[in-house]
Amino acid sequence: MRFSCLFFSDVRTDISYAEKYRFLGDVTRFADQTGFEAVYFPERHFHEFGSVFANPAIAAAHLIPQTQNIRFRTAGVTIPLHHPAEIVEWWAMNDVLSGGRVDLGFGSGWAKGDFIYAPENFEDRRKICSDGIETIKRLWRGETLAFPGPGGDVVDITVYPRPIQSDLAVWLLITQNEDAFIHAGKMGYNVFTMLYGTNLENLSQKIALYRKARQEAGHDPVSGRVTLTLHTLLLDTMDSVLAAIEVPFRQYIQSSLNAHVNAGAVTGASADLSDADRAKVLDYAYQRYVRTGALFGTPDTAKDMVDEVIAADVDEIACLMDFGADYDIVRHGFTHLAQLAQHYSSPLLTP
């Protein structure tokens, strides 16, 4: 089992944005110094849920000089909001600056408000994402491609600077869609997923479809990477963890639901719940995550969850650490998290 760190959503309103970015640096340096494989960055716009991640390429560029080993990945770039060449330019620069430590995850987007950047792309966003990944891979390899320019002219372009890596490792962001798992397998992509409205048993079935699709398409079924995000906080006792997450994690779940409702991703009865019913939904979600969908506990108790994840055929856990818990408490948990990772990974450096 590989371990990485994931930034996703920090919604704290009691601290400055500058302090939030300092926390990104603390987590990234911890991951770099203790043998973690990667740090993942999302792309988010126009809502407090993840508002510090308007451009993951800038976040990565800020942190790359502070590291030596860690890989920088996205989870992920919303392709329909950008020109493919623009994405390659940004991340080719980061590939050079990092010495070849860039991998990219992609998604089609879901929040309607984000598409003020490209309103014409919303309806066909999934196809645009699918086509865009292949275009990005070709540009990354140095191919010259033609794009429409001013006045109807066609312009041939090759992207510079040239990245250090000749080929780009790609992750596809998927939640529950079985067809998306199969598509990722056929295309030879890696998968980034989460326990959003599902459980490890169901996820295991979808991973099996993914492996089968890879094999049928001529790709090595085993080498395809499945990365699972898990909210993470490890401390000395479970009681300490529960005390640390009770308020902020409930607020985090509420903010996530509000973001999806406001974006039109949640509609109908789910969006029209009364305050009392919504409170019940939030309590159910909180209890489910704490008991069966997160790395909350001590290094010893968390092993049960990791073992279940391994049994589901997941290759990598992306530890989501910015869900609103007090930063000093999260920092205190670094040593415990490194201890857990060391149990499953090759020998790590001392944190």
Residue 349 included in any domain = no
Residue 350's pLDDT is: 38
Residue 349's pLDDT is: 42
Exposure pattern of 326-351 as b/e (b: 16+ CB <10 Å)?
Answer: ebebbebbbebbbbbbbeebeebeeb
The rounded radius of gyration (Å) of the Cα atoms in the chain is 20
Residue 350 included in any domain = no
Which parts of the chain sit beneath pLDDT 50? 260, 264-269, 347-351
Q: Which residue has the tokens 């392709």?
A: 79
Residue 278 included in any domain = yes
Q: State the SS3 of 21-33.
A: HHHHHHHHHHHHH
Amino acid letter for position 6: L
Residue 196 included in any domain = yes
Exposure pattern of 160-173 as b/e (b: 16+ CB <10 Å)?
Answer: eeebebeebebbbb
| Residue 201 token pair | 């048993």
Exposure pattern of 54-88 as b/e (b: 16+ CB <10 Å)?
Answer: eebbebbbebbeebeebbbbbbbbbbbbbebbebb
Residue 261's pLDDT is: 53
CA distance 58 to 43: 11
Residue 265's pLDDT is: 46
Q: Domain tally for the chain?
A: 1
Residue 351 included in any domain = no
Residue 50's pLDDT is: 74
Residue 165 included in any domain = yes
pTM for the model stands at 0.91
| Residue 111 token pair | 């929040």
Which CATH number do you get for residue 46?
Answer: 3.20.20.30
Please answer whether residues 143 and 166 qualify as being in contact, where contact means their C-beta atoms are separated by less than 8 angstroms.
Answer: no
CA distance 31 to 4: 7
pLDDT tens column, 306-344: 999 999 999 999 999 988 899 999 999 999 999 999 999
Domain that holds residue 83: 2-344
Residue 151 included in any domain = yes
